[in-house]
């Protein structure tokens, strides 16, 4: 089965999070020379396949088989792959069954490798990720089987295939501020304590403000206000409390404690509560790391030009590998229709991705 045939098989499975739609069993059977570890919890399936070729280092390809719900607006059945003008249209075509097909086929055809070659798949990347890659890595740590390097095949390219890899990701800090006041009549403001007026005084110093200067890999961490609400939608009552929500996509120069200190600087003296949650931590992999260098070279050979090193975008399961000390990088097809109706991928991109991964395996 060639890589496009394999991709069509994967896309035909309605694997909406956390359902794997039988893909884990299929992939395990497709790679019979690899030893399997299954870890299923909370309705999520996780699969780790590994094969030891030699005594060298351990390289893991990683990804997810789950997809988001199709939604509305499709011009064809999202789980019946449609080949149209050099593209394949189906849910998961870019995010990220193209990447899974490419590395599974490359691993199937691997004849030699310097160390251990493996894959890690989950059906819980598009969901809460509570029972997915994170718990499988914890199990691998317990067994002394953590990889040295990992390539996550998320869609990373921007304008053309091969133009970008991700060597890191920003973190994500979510915050909720509840400012208490004293409700009152709008005609007697002196008898009330209006939290809107108090918060409005500090908003110019907070909204959209950069918390650091960034660096060569990361944009500055910015304080982004996502919601403010107060009152009862009437004109003659001032509210008794205000709720403000915000998000900081933080780089490695700003952490949760920095955000807490920033809020307190402007809310000091006010009656308020602050709740912070770090849903993802930032990381960056040194571009001189072996996995980055080998991947760069493979992309240049296949695509004719070197990719840029990016940290843009949201979060991915690469963050979990980084937390366990694994040197991780991401590379996949273009990212321009993920999660959208008529999600599609170029056939030439999938074939190119497969060739890149074959070269990585051969030269690692």
Of these residues, 125, 126, 317, 343, which one is catalytic? Answer: 125
Strand, helix or coil at 135?
helix
Residue 29: CB atoms within 10 A of its CB come to 9
Strand, helix or coil at 39?
strand
Q: Report whether 65 contacts 46 (CB < 8 A).
A: no
What are phi and psi for residue 76, nearest 5 degrees? -155, 170
Distance CA 231, CA 241 (A): 7
Cα dihedral across residues 210, 126, 155, 72: positive or negative: negative
Tell me the three-class secondary structure of 37-78, residue by residue: EEEEECCEEEEEEEEECCCCCEEEEEEECCECCCCCCCCCCC
Distance of CA 111 to the CA centre of its chain: 31
Going by their DSSP bridges, the two strands 149-152 and 327-330 should be labelled as parallel
Q: Report whether 231 contacts 238 (CB < 8 A).
A: yes
Annotated catalytic, 125? yes
Distance CA 158, CA 336 (A): 7
Of these residues, 66, 95, 342, 343, which one is catalytic? Answer: 66
Annotated catalytic, 66? yes
Q: What amino acid positions are annotated as catalytic residues?
A: 66, 125
């Amino acid at each position: 089965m060639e890589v496009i045939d394999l991709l069509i098989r994967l896309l035909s499975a309605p694997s909406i999070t956390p359902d794997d739609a039988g893909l884990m069993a299929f992939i395990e059977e497709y790679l019979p020379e690899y030893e399997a570890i299954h870890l299923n919890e909370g309705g999520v399936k996780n699969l780790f396949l590994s094969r030891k070729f030699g005594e060298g280092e351990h390289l893991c390809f990683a990804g997810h088989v789950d997809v988001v719900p199709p939604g509305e607006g499709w011009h064809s059945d999202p789980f019946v792959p449609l080949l149209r003008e050099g593209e394949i249209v189906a849910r998961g075509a870019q995010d990220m069954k193209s990447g899974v097909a490419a590395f599974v086929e490359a691993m199937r055809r691997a004849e030699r490798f310097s160390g251990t070659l493996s894959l890690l798949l989950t059906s819980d990347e598009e969901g809460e990720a509570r029972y997915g890659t994170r718990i499988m890595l914890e199990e691998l740590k317990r067994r002394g089987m953590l990889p040295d390097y990992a390539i996550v095949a998320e869609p990373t390219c921007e304008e053309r295939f091969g133009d970008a890899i991700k060597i890191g990701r920003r973190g994500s800090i979510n915050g909720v501020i509840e400012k208490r006041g004293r409700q009152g009549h709008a005609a007697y403001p002196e008898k009330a304590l209006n939290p809107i007026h108090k918060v409005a005084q500090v908003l110019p110093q907070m909204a959209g403000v950069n918390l650091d200067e960034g660096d060569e890999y990361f944009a500055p961490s910015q304080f982004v206000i996502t919601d403010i609400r107060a009152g009862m939608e009437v004109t003659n009552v001032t509210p008794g409390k205000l709720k403000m929500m915000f998000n900081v996509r933080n780089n490695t120069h700003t952490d949760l404690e920095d955000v807490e200190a920033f809020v307190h600087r402007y809310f000091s003296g006010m009656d308020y509560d602050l709740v912070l949650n770090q849903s993802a931590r930032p990381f960056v992999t040194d571009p001189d790391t072996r996995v980055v260098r080998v991947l760069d070279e493979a992309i240049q050979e296949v695509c004719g030009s070197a990719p840029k090193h990016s940290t843009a975008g949201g979060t991915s399961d690469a963050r979990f590998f980084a937390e366990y000390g694994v040197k991780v990088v991401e590379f996949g097809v273009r990212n321009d229709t993920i999660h959208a109706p008529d999600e599609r991928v170029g056939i030439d991109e999938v074939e190119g991705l497969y060739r890149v991964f074959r070269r990585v395996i051969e030269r690692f």
